[in-house]
Every structure is written in C-alpha cells, then in structure tokens.
Amino acid sequence: MTSVPFPVPHATVPFWRTELHVLDSHQSTPELPEKQDVVIIGAGFAGAALAYYLSEQDTSVPKRSITILEAREACSGATGRNGGHLRPDIFNGVAAHMKTHGLDAANNVATFELENAEALTNLIKSEEIDCDLRPVVSGAAFVDEAEAADAKKLWDDMLEKGSPALQQVTYYGPEDAERVSGIKGALALYTFPAAVLWPYKMVMHLLAAAVAAGVNLQTHTPVHAVSPEADSEGYWTLETARGAIKARHIVFATNAYTSGLLPEYANTILPCLGTCARMVATASAGPPPLPSCGIASKSPNTIHSYWGARPDGSFIVGGASSYRDKREFWYRNFDDSALIGPSIKFFAQWAGKSLVGWEEAEMKIENIWTGVMGYTSDDLPHVGAVPGKKGLYICAGFVGHGMPNVLLSAKAVAKLLRDDTPLTESGVPACYETSSERLRGARQTA
Ligand SMILES: Cc1cc2nc3c(=O)[nH]c(=O)nc-3n(C[C@H](O)[C@H](O)[C@H](O)COP(=O)(O)OP(=O)(O)OC[C@H]3O[C@@H](n4cnc5c(N)ncnc54)[C@H](O)[C@@H]3O)c2cc1C
C-alpha cells in the first residue's frame, strides 16, 4: 500500500451497511458531465450534507450544476462504519481543548457541538428520517485511580473557570459511579445528554433529497488527481477513473483521504484506522449498563472502550485500544479492508471484563469492521476555503467525532461557497477554519 491515502477496494462490511439503500451504487448519468459549477468529492456525512444544503438553498437562475464523486459506494467511508454515537463531547472534549486551545475556544467548540446535535435531531424529526434515533444519557467513566483524580481536578477547574456546556453534565464520585454506569470499578462518572442512531440511513436520506433536487451522484468514481491550478476560465480539472470533469468549485469532503488529492494536508489530516463490533448477548446477560458510555482505562482488568446500546438490545462497541501502543496497526493506516488483529480478543472479553454482572454472559461478535478516521494535527476539523486555491473548499478532518460537528460545518461551507458568508457568522468556531497558519503549524510538528 502506498503512503498516499485513497479509499481501498473490498472494505470490511459494517453492521450499518447490511441494509443497503437503492442509491448505494447509484450513477445518475451513464457518463460524467463535462463541466459543473460544483463538484463535491466524497459521499459521506460531509458530502451528503453539503449536497443537501447547496441544492436546498439554491435560488440562483439557472440552478447550479452539482455533481458528487464517490470512490466506492455511497456512505462507505467513516460515516458508514462508525460507532453510531451523536455525542457532543462536553466533558472530556472541553477539558482537552481547554488545555491546548484555551477556554474560549473550548467553550465555542462545546456550544457548536450541542447546536449540531440539536440541529441534526430536529432535521431527523422534521424530515421523519427512519434512522433509529434514540436520545440517551451518555457517560464518560474513569476506573483508574490517578485518571479519576485527574478528571475530578479538571472538572473542578472547569467549574471555576466557567463552561456553559457543563450545566448539562452531572458528576458521580466513587460511591455512585459504578452503580450508575454499570461499569466495574468505576471511580468517577460524568453523564450528559446524547443520542444513538443509524448513521448510514440518515446520510442516505440526505443524499436522496439532494439527488431528487437535481444533484448528480456518481458512486464508484475515484478521483485520482486535481489540477494544480484553475484554467483561464476559472475551471479546475478532476481526473477520475471514468474520465475528466471540470468544475468551477470543488469541495473536498474527503476526510481521512484528503491529502491524496491535496498534498498540502499531508501532515495535517492523518488517516488512522479504528474498529467497531456489534455484540449480541446470547446467554446470562447482566443488568443493562448506561445505554451509551466511554471507559477510560489503562488497567488490564477493564477495557478502554465505548459503546451505544441499540434498540434490539445489541451493543455497538468501539475503542478497542489495547493495540494503541503498536502504531503500525492504526497510525497513517487507511486499509479498512482488513481487521485489526488484537481487537478481536478485546471484543470477545469486553462485556465480561467491563460490565457489572456480565462475567458469565455469552457474547457473540455479530459484525466486526474497521474504518478510517481523519485525525488532525491539532485535533480540530478543517473547514472553509483551501488557502491559496480560489474555488476550492474543504470540510474534513473530523477526527473520531464527526457526528456532532459535520452538519453545521457543511451548512456553513455551502453558505461560504454560495455568497461568501464568513464561517464564524454561521456559528462555526474560528479554530475550525482551515488556514495556511494551521498547515504551517502541522508541518512544524510533523
Ligand atoms: C470506527 C469508527 C468509529 C467512529 N465512531 C464515531 C462515533 O461514534 N461518533 C462520532 O461522532 N464519530 C465517530 N467516528 C468518526 C466519524 O465517523 C467521522 O468523523 C465522520 O463520519 C466523517 O464524515 P465524512 O463525511 O467527513 O467522512 P467519510 O464518511 O469518511 O466520507 C469521506 C468519503 O470521501 C470518499 N473519498 C475520499 N477520497 C476520495 C477520492 N479521491 N475520490 C472519490 N471519493 C473519495 C470516501 O470514499 C468516503 O466515502 C468514527 C469513525 C470510525 C472510523
């Protein structure tokens, strides 16, 4: 495999892709159009939301011509293989961003994530999207004494400094954490509102709406290269496996694979492999734990992981971080056609080791898959106009946390492209805006 990231064939099959939509391998026209106003590369959550908002908000006459180019099937990237959590990270996330980017930035990110979760929930309700949306109480649990103490210190610090999002977080100490979470040996627990859903079904609804509004969807069309500059009429050329196509505007909704087409992002957005499994209890299940939670644990007696409970009683479990110190398994790895070896043992042991009363439970790994996340050098997404390349936009680098970030980022990029509305006017945190400074910073730390 080369080190330049492109989607690979024969990807593992996630649970979410076991009920395929009629547009899964859709090609709106037998040939690619010659010239378009907008080409979106990528048909994951970001590409689908961009197409949805660009077509929905288009009042131009004639309407903008829009094509989506997707290398594999629709929603076959990270979105179709994630943990199904819509979980604004208003405790751990705020703490981490506060340390690296300051309190204001951390608060802006938390507010934006809450707004995204609300906007997506409202959209799902208003459009009656059948995607198993289920509001849950989610948790962040700590089992290691030192980590629990650090988390408590951070919590106190954040309370003192002031973070509006914390009003939605409840803290449980050592007396209550295990009972409330259902996690063995939990010493600290922070709970907050979240939701679980079937991401593929939600995204396919957005894509179907865009296609119905005239967007040309071309799956199985990998883009190999984009011209280094626009021609004299302002058109960029995209070379694809099915011929060339010209576009006045290109939006890179390519997440982990962005640097395959935009080499300036090579040290900025890094493909990192993750894994999830759908686990079903076949016998002697214990009492239900919190329906959604993450466990931070360095201890071999508990398992560092996160999960969301499905309406059918199964769990989507992710994390599997027992292999994290072996970077060759995941770092700059974009091969989602293979499983991560050590994760299979981890999933098999997950419930017995982690959940109170589940020691005798027989758990079956019903589905197991891998997926590629777009980690970024500063842990923040890249949204906005690609520096120095007029007409090119990016909405990518959503780390392991796109569900409460993508929708309003994509909506803001659609507005920026349409009428130059600055991203921050659309509510996107200033620290998400892509810039030459952030690209330079990533080169320096690489
Ligand atoms: C295992 C795993 C678990 C996760 N769990 C969660 C979770 O529970 N909650 C959460 O919030 N987030 C989670 N995430 C992260 C989340 O899934 C992503 O942040 C989000 O889906 C990103 O959406 P996207 O549209 O930017 O990327 P993607 O869904 O990856 O879409 C990018 C698309 O671009 C296409 N593409 C790329 N390059 C090209 C090219 N050259 N030509 C044509 N097409 C191209 C790809 O094929 C892909 O379909 C998880 C991710 C993984 C992998």
CATH number at residue 186: 3.30.9.10
Helix (H) or strand (E) holding 293: strand 292-296
Q: Is residue 371 part of a domain?
A: yes
Same domain? 256 vs 151 = no
On whether residue 292 sits in a domain, the answer given is yes
Name residue 308's beta-bridge partners. Answer: 292, 316
Domain of 407, CATH number, reads: 3.50.50.60
What gap in Å lies between CA 442 and CA 303, rounded to an integer?
Answer: 32
C-beta neighbour count of 28 within 10 angstroms:
16
Q: How far is the CA of 77 from the centre of ligand 1 (A)?
A: 5
Q: What is the pLDDT of residues 349-384, one digit of tens each?
A: 999 999 999 999 989 999 999 999 999 999 999 999
CB atoms within 10 A of CB 3: 9
Flag whether 56 is in a domain.
yes
350 and 393 part of one domain: no
Q: Strand, coil or helix: what is 238?
A: strand
- Count CB neighbours of 425 within 10 A: 10
The answer to whether residue 31 sits within a structural domain is: yes
Q: Tell me if 131 sits within 8 A of 201, measured CB to CB.
A: yes
Nearest CA to ligand 1 atom 37: 254
Q: How far does the centroid of ligand 1 lie from the alpha carbon of residue 372, in Å?
A: 7
pLDDT digits (tens, 9 = 90+) for 99-130: 889 999 999 999 999 999 999 999 999 999 99
Are 249 and 391 contacting, i.e. CB atoms less than 8 angstroms apart?
Answer: yes
pLDDT at 19: 97
pLDDT value for 225: 98
Residue appearing with tokens 């087409």: 261
Residues in the chain predicted with pLDDT less than 70, given as ranges, are: 1-2, 57, 320-322, 443-446
HSE (CB half, 13 Å, CA atoms) of 379?
Answer: 14
State which residues form the domain around 39: 15-82+200-268+378-445
Phi, psi of 69 (to 5 degrees): -110, 125
Residues 388 and 258 in one domain: yes
Q: What is the pLDDT of residue 444?
A: 66
In a shared domain, residues 216 and 349: no
List the Cα angle 392/397/400 in 5-degree steps: 160
On whether residue 355 sits in a domain, the answer given is yes
For residue 76, the ligand 1 atom closest to its alpha carbon is 49
| Atom 18 of ligand 1, residue of closest alpha carbon | 402
Would residue 147 count as lying in a domain? yes
Rounded to 5, what percent of the chain is helix, strand, coil? 35, 25, 40
Same domain, 148 and 159: yes
Kindly state whether residues 72 and 146 are assigned to the same domain. Answer: no
Rounded Cα distance between 424 and 320, Å, is 36
Does an H or E element contain 218, and which? strand 216-218
pLDDT of residue 56: 87
Give the distance (Å) from ligand 1 centre to CA of residue 397: 9
Cα–Cα distance for residue pair 301/185, rounded to 1 Å: 10
How many angstroms does the Cα of residue 192 sit away from the middle of ligand 1?
A: 25
Residue 235 tokens read as: 């058109």
Look at residue 434 and tell me if it is in a domain.
yes
Taking the centre of ligand 1 as the mean of its atom positions, its distance from the CA of residue 187, in whole angstroms, is 33
Q: Which of 376, 395, 423 is the last residue before a domain boundary?
A: 376
> What is the C-alpha separation between 422 and 428, in angstroms, rounded?
9
Q: DSSP strand E in 327-377: where?
A: 362-376
Contacts of 26 (CB under 8 A, 6+ apart): 74, 211, 217, 219
Residues 161 and 43 in one domain: no
Per-residue pLDDT, 445: 62
Q: Are residues 171 and 291 in the same domain?
A: yes
The reply to whether 180 and 288 lie within a common domain is: yes
Angstrom distance (rounded) from CA 276 to CA 340: 10
Structure confidence at residue 446 (pLDDT): 58
Ligand 1 atom closest to the Cα of residue 273 is 53
176 and 289 co-located in one domain: yes
Instruction: Please answer whether residues 241 and 224 qualify as being in contact, where contact means their C-beta atoms are separated by less than 8 angstroms.
Output: yes
Structural domains of the chain, count: 2
Atom of ligand 1 nearest to the CA of 274: 1
Q: Are residues 140 and 184 in the same domain?
A: yes
d(CA 351, CA 123): 34
Last residue of a domain, one of 343, 376, 409: 376
pLDDT for 297 = 76
Measured CA to CA, the distance from residue 280 to residue 297 in angstroms comes to 23
The predicted structure's pLDDT at residue 93: 87
For the record, the structure tokens of 18 come out as: 């076991």
Report yes or no: 416 and 393 within 8 Å, Cβ to Cβ.
Answer: yes
CA-to-CA separations, 205 to 20, 129, 373, in angstroms, rounded: 12, 7, 22
DSSP 25-45: T-BSSSS--SEEEEEEE--SH
Q: Which of 376, 405, 436 is the last residue of a domain?
A: 376
CA distance 364 to 57: 46
Per-residue pLDDT, 216: 98
Among 15, 79, 292, the mutation site with the greatest number of ligand 1 atoms within 8 A of its Cβ is 79
Provide the pLDDT for residue 358: 95
Asked whether residue 254 is assigned to any structural domain, the reply reads yes
**Does 279 share its domain with 359?**
yes
Contact criterion met (CB below 8 Å) for 425 and 104 = no
- Tallying the residues shown for the chain, one arrives at 446
- The set of protein residues with a Cβ atom below 6 angstroms from ligand 1 is 6-7, 41-47, 69-72, 76-79, 81-85, 222-223, 253-255, 257, 260-261, 274-276, 318, 371-373, 396, 398, 400-404, 406
